[in-house]
Amino acid sequence: QVHRASTFAPVNIAVIKYWGKRDTKLNLPTNSSLSVTLSQDDLRTHTTASCSPDFTQDSLTLNGKDQDISGARTQACFRELRQLRKDVEAGDSSLPKLADLKLKVVSENNFPTAAGLASSAAGFAALVRAIANLYQLPATPTDLSKIARQGSGSACRSLFGGYAGWQKGEEEDGSDSLAYEVAPASHWPDMRACILVASADKKDISSTTGMQATVATSALFQERANIVVPKRMKAMEKAIQNRDFEAFATLSMKDSNNFHATCLDTDPPIFYMNDTSRAAVRLCEAINDAAGKIVCGYTFDAGPNAVVYYLAEDEERVAGTFKAILGDKTGWEGKKGQAVKSDVQVPEGNEVVVGLLQKGISRVILTSVGDGPRKTEEH
């Protein structure tokens, strides 16, 4: 007999970045962070968790390939979820003893893995949510966020839809390092995200390694973690509560640049942004200048891809400008992308920027803010 449960989990893209750990085992961060959850209609991990007396070992496959699960991160997730199930079973002897059975987890991403598209976030959020569903745990998303965090820090935010915060917490055991809902997607549903994929290759320096090097060697880092981010977290929460796009976008851009400055200040320096990334920054500035106000804001994770946030009402002047430059790259064909006009005037004087974008962007994904994990059919 096989017990099964399935879920989708979303990608999230931080606007106040997590970068630095105070505890590498528990993934406890040196600063709080905040992200936008992207729509699972476009980007998602689909995971089915099952358990059976017939299984002889725990296993995990991602996109059809067996994954090594001996690592501490996956083991921590399995262990903690099993313990929660054991607690439930101890309180009700009529329940099947699922915690003793081996687990089989099957995952699929519908986007390039490890391309800096936050695949580990959606991946661990889906793994934790699927097993929690399988075990019928009474745990809240915040409870589960503490487990997903141990898989990958940013995964804790993918248990929520809309706008999610991750408070860094003070406790050594991580009990207060958890994710929470800043606002649901319905609070500000007009938020759009245009992902400009500058590289779909596996990235050079993983975020785990990169952030440790930054903590160890960057002088700017202390200022960021202790002074810059705490202030920005408050300002960003307020911007979201007030649906103040100018503040939201300005803070996003500043925080991305501040994070990448600490990367550059790392010894040896880490370069996640490349010429294509910088061209995307320039074009966003040109779009904002032409509009006479802030209508878009960029952010970059540990890779060269740009994520450009804007509001639905500005689709034409933001996404439309990129479409006018990039033509029908994959992604515009999607439902959301097709609707975007392409005969938009590109701000003048940007020939070099346009050339760099045309050369460097391989794919565009147009999406929006979305909900948290949702139960689905099995694989």
> Nearer Cβ to ligand DP6, position 17 or 192?
17
> Nearer Cβ to ligand DP6, position 154 or 321?
154
Identify the sign of the CA torsion 133, 134, 137, 138: positive
What's the closest the beta carbon of residue 315 comes to ligand DP6, in angstroms?
A: 25
What's the closest the beta carbon of residue 299 comes to ligand DP6, in angstroms?
A: 9
What's the closest the beta carbon of residue 118 comes to ligand DP6, in angstroms?
A: 6
CB of 6 within 8 A of CB of 375?
A: yes
Q: What residues from 55 to 74 belong to the interface with ligand DP6 (CB under 6 A)? A: none
Residues 6+ apart with CB under 8 A from 274: 198, 199, 304, 360
User: Is 256 in a helix, a strand, or coil?
Assistant: helix
What's the closest the beta carbon of residue 338 comes to ligand DP6, in angstroms?
A: 29
Residue in the structure block whose two tokens are 């936050």 = 118
CB of 110 within 8 A of CB of 62?
A: no
What's the closest the beta carbon of residue 126 comes to ligand DP6, in angstroms?
A: 14
Q: Report which DSSP code applies to 345.
A: P
Among 80, 181, 301, 314, binds ligand DP6 (CB under 6 A): 301
> Nearer Cβ to ligand DP6, position 27 or 74?
27
Q: What residues from 100 to 129 belong to the interface with ligand DP6 (CB under 6 A)? A: 120
CB of 357 within 8 A of CB of 194?
A: no
DSSP E strands in the chain: the ranges are 3-10, 12-16, 21-23, 28-29, 33-37, 44-52, 59-62, 65-66, 102-109, 163-167, 178-183, 191-197, 296-299, 306-311, 363-368, 374-375
> Nearer Cβ to ligand DP6, position 95 or 114?
114
The alpha-carbon radius of gyration of the chain (Å, integer) is 21
Q: What residues from 4 to 43 belong to the interface with ligand DP6 (CB under 6 A)? A: 14, 17-19, 27, 33
Structure tokens, 63: 């996109």
Measure the CA–CA gap between 126 and 119, rounded to whole angstroms. Answer: 10
- In the chain, the N- to C-terminal Cα span, in Å, equals 17
What's the closest the beta carbon of residue 50 comes to ligand DP6, in angstroms?
A: 25
Q: What residues from 173 to 212 belong to the interface with ligand DP6 (CB under 6 A)? A: 207-208
Nearest to 80 by CA among 156, 44, 132, 11: 132
Measure the CA–CA gap between 238 and 223, rounded to whole angstroms. Answer: 22
CB of 142 within 8 A of CB of 132?
A: no
> Nearer Cβ to ligand DP6, position 39 or 152?
152
Q: What residues from 208 to 237 belong to the interface with ligand DP6 (CB under 6 A)? A: 208
> Nearer Cβ to ligand DP6, position 7 or 252?
252
> Nearer Cβ to ligand DP6, position 48 or 214?
214
Measure the CA–CA gap between 351 and 327, rounded to whole angstroms. Answer: 16
What's the closest the beta carbon of residue 337 comes to ligand DP6, in angstroms?
A: 24
> Nearer Cβ to ligand DP6, position 117 or 239?
117
> Nearer Cβ to ligand DP6, position 208 or 342?
208
> Nearer Cβ to ligand DP6, position 99 or 195?
195
Residue of this chain nearest to ligand DP6 (CB atom): 153
- Strands 102-109 and 59-62: what pairing? parallel
For every residue of 15-76, DSSP letters joined together read EE----EEETTTTEESS-EEEEEBPTTTSEEEEEEEEETT--S-EEEETTEE----SHHHHH
Site string for ligand DP6, 249-288 (x = CB under 6 A): ----------------------------------------
What's the closest the beta carbon of residue 24 comes to ligand DP6, in angstroms?
A: 8
Q: What residues from 141 to 170 belong to the interface with ligand DP6 (CB under 6 A)? A: 152-154
Give the interface size with ligand DP6 as a residue count (CB under 6 A): 14
What's the closest the beta carbon of residue 196 comes to ligand DP6, in angstroms?
A: 16
Fill in the amino acid letter for 152. S
What's the closest the beta carbon of residue 16 comes to ligand DP6, in angstroms?
A: 8
The site for ligand DP6 (CB under 6 A) is made up of: 14, 17-19, 27, 33, 120, 152-154, 207-208, 301-302
